[in-house]
């Protein structure tokens, strides 16, 4: 099998505070779905490479819930949420909350579209209740280089009188 | 100025009128009066929008006497684009790991369809 690299597309919606990520995979929907629901598999890809992922529990079924941590040395970033709707090989609707901000919640919708020929399009949207929260969320995805990014922005902002 | 710089930029651009103003400024500097003209709004309303854009660092005011033309800070714009690109790369890295996992997974089409989908979770470890 040739290893094709597919482009990950990001859509930062301007009208609604959501982020949409689209990506194709060379695997059928059942497999891609299983990689999202089996915690042993989820652990291997979900967290940033620089962090270790520890799963508290991961009960991926309608009405279930999850809790996990990303750990780096003494630093811990915990997350939890509920699985609102789980439909095998089709759909996962879940909530997502950073333990550090328990009042903030994102509504995530992961759609597995069968492209045929053993391929799947994964469309993942995260909806929050304000643009500020969405943007903080976009920024938090950038584990690496966030500080550098802020410094750069500070520089640019300082330069523009 | 509680919000972080990125949020200020995004929030400033969340408003359609301000996005429109930024679009006009991309074509060249303009005075507050010139900016107010196409909209059914007062100069004061436009000034309010400009203040939000200025606080986010997206525009600055020139020192040309009374006119004080408004200038778009294209660099800040570019930076925002880079920020989104970084977010994209994070997702890309994550999905490349998923590519590897998928390639290593046995085909589940046969009889061996493992029921392990959600049996591995350990209950009771949440607080």
Residue A151's pLDDT band, with cuts at 50, 70 and 90, is: low
Mutate: best of B59, B99, B107, partner A, most A CBs <10 A: B99
CB-CB neighbors (< 8 A) of B118 in chain A: 37-38, 58-61, 64
Q: How far apart are CA B43 and CA B39, in angstroms?
A: 10
Q: What is the DSSP string of A30-69?
A: HHHHHHHH-HHHHHHHSS-TTSEEEEEEE--STT-EEEEE
Please report the domains of chain A, with CATH numbers, ordered by start residue: 9-159 (3.30.530.20)
Please report the domains of chain B, with CATH numbers, ordered by start residue: 5-75 (1.10.10.10)
Q: How far apart are CA A48 and CA A142, in angstroms?
A: 9
Chain-chain contact of A153 with B76 (C-beta, under 8 angstroms): yes
Considering CB atoms only, which of A14, A19, A35 is closest to B101?
Answer: A35
Chain-chain contact of A55 with B102 (C-beta, under 8 angstroms): no
Cβ pairs A/B, distance under 8 A: 170
Chain-chain contact of B10 with A135 (C-beta, under 8 angstroms): yes
Long-range contacts from B101-110, C-beta under 8 angstroms, 24+ separation: B101/A35, B101/A41, B101/A44, B101/A45, B102/A25, B102/A26, B102/A27, B102/A31, B102/A32, B102/A35, B103/A1, B103/A3, B103/A26, B103/A27, B105/A27, B105/A31, B105/A34, B105/A35, B105/A41, B107/A31, B108/A30, B108/A31, B108/A34, B109/A30
Q: How far apart are CA A123 and CA B24, in angstroms?
A: 34
CB-CB neighbors (< 8 A) of A9 in chain B: 88
Q: What is the DSSP string of A123-160?
A: EEEEE-S-HHHHHHHHHHT-TTTHHHHHHHHHHHHHH-
Mean pLDDT of B45-67: 87
Chain-chain contact of B91 with A10 (C-beta, under 8 angstroms): yes
* Cα A47 to Cα A42, A52, A73, B62, distances in angstroms: 9, 7, 15, 46
pLDDT at A154: 52
CB-CB neighbors (< 8 A) of B124 in chain A: 57
How high is the ipTM of this complex? 0.77
Long-range contacts from A92-96, C-beta under 8 angstroms, 24+ separation: A92/A33, A92/A36, A92/A37, A92/A60, A94/A66, A96/A126
Task: Report the range of poorest mean pLDDT among A22-31, A69-78, B78-87.
Answer: B78-87
B74 interfaces chain A, CB cutoff of 8 Å: no
Q: What is the DSSP string of B64-109?
A: STTT--EEE-HHHHHHHHHHHHHHHHHHHHHHHHHHHHHHHSPPTT
In the block, tokens 């901000």 appear at A101
- Model-level pTM? 0.65
B17 interfaces chain A, CB cutoff of 8 Å: no
Question: Smallest CA–CA separation between A91 and chain B, in Å?
Answer: 15
pLDDT in tens, A4-58: 567 888 887 777 888 899 999 999 999 999 999 999 989 888 877 778 889 999 9
pLDDT of A63 higher than 90: yes
């Amino acid at each position: 099998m040739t290893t094709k690299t597919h482009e990950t597309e990001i859509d930062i919606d301007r009208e609604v505070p959501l982020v949409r990520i689209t990506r194709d995979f060379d695997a059928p929907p059942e497999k891609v779905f299983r990689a999202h629901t089996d915690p042993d598999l989820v652990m291997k890809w979900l967290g940033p490479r620089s962090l270790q992922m520890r799963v508290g529990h991961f009960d991926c079924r309608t009405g279930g819930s999850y809790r996990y941590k990303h750990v780096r040395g003494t630093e811990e970033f915990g997350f939890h949420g509920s699985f609102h709707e789980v439909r095998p090989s089709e759909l996962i609707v879940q909530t997502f909350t950073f333990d550090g901000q328990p009042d903030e919640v994102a509504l995530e919708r992961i759609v597995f579209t069968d492209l045929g020929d053993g391929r799947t399009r994964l469309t993942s949207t995260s909806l929050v209740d304000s643009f500020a929260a969405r943007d903080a969320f976009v920024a938090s995805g950038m584990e690496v280089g966030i500080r550098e990014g802020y410094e750069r922005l500070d520089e640019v902002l300082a330069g523009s009188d | 100025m509680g919000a972080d710089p990125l949020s200020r930029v995004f929030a400033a651009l969340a408003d359609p009128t301000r996005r429109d103003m930024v679009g006009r400024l991309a074509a060249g500097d303009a005075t507050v009066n010139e900016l107010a003209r196409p909209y059914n709004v007062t100069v004061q309303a436009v000034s309010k929008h400009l203040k939000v854009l200025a606080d986010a660092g997206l525009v600055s005011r020139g020192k040309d006497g009374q006119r004080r033309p408004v200038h778009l800070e294209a660099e800040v714009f570019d930076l925002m684009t880079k920020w989104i690109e970084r977010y994209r790369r994070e997702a890309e890295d994550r999905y490349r790991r998923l590519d590897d996992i998928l390639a290593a997974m046995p085909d589940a089409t046969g009889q061996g369809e493992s029921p392990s989908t959600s049996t591995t979770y350990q209950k009771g470890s949440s607080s």
